Structure 1
């Protein structure tokens, strides 16, 4: 059912492109306004500085984008994306050492952010009623009687029957609404001072026999004693299309290297020599890219007594996350799919539509938000409205790391825990839902008892200074 003549999307990044796909069935014309000139291929652009860092496309995001754009995943793989199983294809260093390699329930598509957006742009450009206008700047909204009626673009007004804000973290929509008479929405924030730095590499044509892995992950050390600051880093050697990888180091509240020389020197001080060795075998093809804009921020439009009609927000424009947790694109795509579902049930877009959509979006966003808070609230450097009292912060800091490692350990031994932990990681299930599942609780209890008795069936804690073991331990837990 058509709900109007024109819908407008502010921003042509991943969230905006997904929103365009969501709007297309319900409006005669969808206009996407983007400040940048969009490249035809997979290239970096000014408006997406995050594109220089690794991006996980979670399963929930893959499904949401696939529902909006059928064939997306196949097109992404055809363009060079890698369909891998992390538990088999990644060397994972957590706790005291390397984890065992075994089959799991989770697969992922590995690619660069620029390739994801290129494939999305191709999908959007194939929609006959969607027009992307590049190199334009949106400077305001037009409103009347409690509803948004259009936008101001480069000094002229463009009328619209519906507007989607996908302008990202720096969106000015809340300020434009305030100027038109709406109250500023409450904003929840937590900035754990995460900084991360990345460099792109061409992989070598020939790799050593011990290099069975495609993805290298090094988690921060659990050691509370003296150790180099670099042992606190979260490290990725992340495979992407074109036989390349992105080497990335990140931390909470620590200084990170900015120059190529400092990047290479710092890499030699992380928890395993494998990371620097991998870089040494590759050819750098970029400068070092550093990002600090990583705070969690949720604009609570759902708490406005009378939210503006004919307006929705997706992606970072409404809820931005610490990028470490890989929730951004998937949450944006899920919000866009949710918008399509609500538009599909609507006969017209009124105040009740806005309230129902915002309530459903709140429920959707609460899952990734709570996951981000579960870790970031434990850091003493964190600031914002969601900073905890010191006693609670210390409790979170003391509990969150060991609890995570405990669940990871149980997932090694019990497929049911692995299955539901993968759902939590991929935003298909909340942590609370997982911990209320009787079968999961039984698996966690059995693991606790067996661990206390020293009866682990799957070995772990392999020497981080040695090569990660290539042995496949899948048969140990088969059928459990």
Structure 2
């Protein structure tokens, strides 16, 4: 059902592109306004500086984008994306040593952010009623009766290289990202500014791109595609680099992104400092792998990583004809890889609500905003559960010191317990994968009686030293290539535990 003549999307990044796909069936024309000139190929651009860092496309995001754009996943893989099973294809260093390699319930597609957006742009450009205007800057909104029950957004103003233009709109979607000015424009028009909830754990991460050696030139021990090094649990003296979260992240074109990040620690900014820090992380494998690759970029550093939720859902009279998608409403610590998937989920949710609507009115906002709040609360609670434990964290959601200490003391052991149980219990593994992929809340998982039973069973067996799957392999040695899946024939030496 058509709900109007023109819908306007502010921003042409991943969130805006997904939104264009959601709007296309319901409006005569969808106009996407983008500040950058969009490249035809998979290239970096000024408006997406985070494209230089690793991006996970979680299963919930894959499904949402696939529903909005059928064939997206196949196109992404055809363009070079890697369809892998992390538990078999990633070397994972957690706790005191390497985890065992085994089959699991979760698969992922690995690619760069720029390839994801290129495939999305190709999909959007295939929609006959979607127009992308590039090189334009949105300057404001036109509104009527701002702040009253009848208040609505009626259009968008923007500037181009030739002057200022205006377009009347039946519906507007803000996908302008963390720096969106929409809240300020609404306040100037008479609406109260939305409450903003924040928590910034001072995460900084730095990345460098490399070309991998050809398959024939790689060491025989490189069974893995992805290398993950979690922060050390050691509370004693150790190099600052042992606190880093490290990824050697595979992408298309036989390339990898080497990435190091931390909470509240100064990160290397130069290539020399980057290489020196890499040699001090918890395992020599990271630096050794970098040495075998050819660097193709400088070091890219990002600090804009705080969690920020603009609570438009709490406004007594939210503006009709306007919603926000992606980082413009809820931005997460990028370490948790929730951004694109959350944006795609919101866009799919919007399409579902538009399909049930007969007009864009106050009732539409009253239905959509609570549903979006419920969707966003899942990734938000996960980010709060981890970032809330850091003493360096600041913001409205900063915990009282006693609670912060409790969270800090319990979060790492609890995570290790869940990861350990998931190694040995298929049900725990299944639900942990759902939580990681934003298909289930952490609270729902921990209320599941079967999951709780699996956690208790694992804890008892661990106390007795009776592990079904070994772990804790020496981090100074190569990660074991043996398949420790329950039905695999295991002939490898025993683990250190």
2:495 matched residue in structure 1: none
Partner SS for 2:486: helix
Residue 204, structure 1, aligned to residue 213, structure 2: yes
> For the residues of structure 1 that align with 2:113 and 2:366, how far apart are their CA atoms?
33
For structure 1, which segment, 12-21 or 150-159, has the greater mean C-alpha deviation from structure 2 after superposition?
Answer: 150-159
1:148 matched residue in structure 2: 153
> For the residues of structure 2 that align with 1:158 and 1:128, how far apart are their CA atoms?
19
1:369 matched residue in structure 2: 380
Count of matched residue positions in the alignment of Structure 1 and Structure 2: 478
Does the aligned pair in 2 maintain the 1:36–1:135 contact within 8 Å? yes
Partner SS for 2:235: coil
Partner SS for 1:115: helix
Cα displacement (A) at 1:477: 8.9
Residue 331, structure 1, aligned to residue 336, structure 2: no
2:66 matched residue in structure 1: 66
Residue 10, structure 1, aligned to residue 17, structure 2: no
Provide the TM-score with structure 2 as the length reference.
Answer: 0.96
2:181 matched residue in structure 1: 172
1:460 matched residue in structure 2: 471
Residue 124, structure 1, aligned to residue 133, structure 2: no
Computed over aligned residues only, the root mean square deviation of the Cα atoms, in angstroms, reads 0.8
1:54 matched residue in structure 2: 54
1:304 matched residue in structure 2: 315
Cα displacement (A) at 1:144: 1.0
1:240 matched residue in structure 2: 251
Listed one character per residue, the Cα deviations across residues 175-195 of structure 1 (whole Å, up to 9, x for unaligned) are 000000000000000000000
Cα displacement (A) at 1:442: 1.4
Does the aligned pair in 2 maintain the 1:264–1:276 contact within 8 Å? yes
Residue 259, structure 1, aligned to residue 270, structure 2: yes
> For the residues of structure 1 that align with 2:468 and 2:218, how far apart are their CA atoms?
31
Cα displacement (A) at 1:232: 0.2
* 2:166 corresponds to which of 157, 167, 171: 157
Listed one character per residue, the Cα deviations across residues 252-293 of structure 1 (whole Å, up to 9, x for unaligned) are 000000111110000000000000000000000011000000
Listed one character per residue, the Cα deviations across residues 323-357 of structure 1 (whole Å, up to 9, x for unaligned) are 00000000000000000000000000100101210
Does the aligned pair in 2 maintain the 1:413–1:477 contact within 8 Å? no
Provide the TM-score with structure 1 as the length reference.
Answer: 0.99
Provide runs of 4+ in structure 1 moved above 2 Å: 475-478
Cα displacement (A) at 1:397: 0.3
1:424 matched residue in structure 2: 435
Does the aligned pair in 2 maintain the 1:188–1:300 contact within 8 Å? yes
2:298 matched residue in structure 1: 287
> For the residues of structure 2 that align with 1:68 and 1:300, how far apart are their CA atoms?
26
> For the residues of structure 2 that align with 1:84 and 1:13, how far apart are their CA atoms?
25
1:341 matched residue in structure 2: 352
Listed one character per residue, the Cα deviations across residues 195-239 of structure 1 (whole Å, up to 9, x for unaligned) are 000000000111000111000000000011111100000000000
> For the residues of structure 1 that align with 2:363 and 2:282, how far apart are their CA atoms?
54
Cα displacement (A) at 1:448: 1.0
2:197 matched residue in structure 1: 188
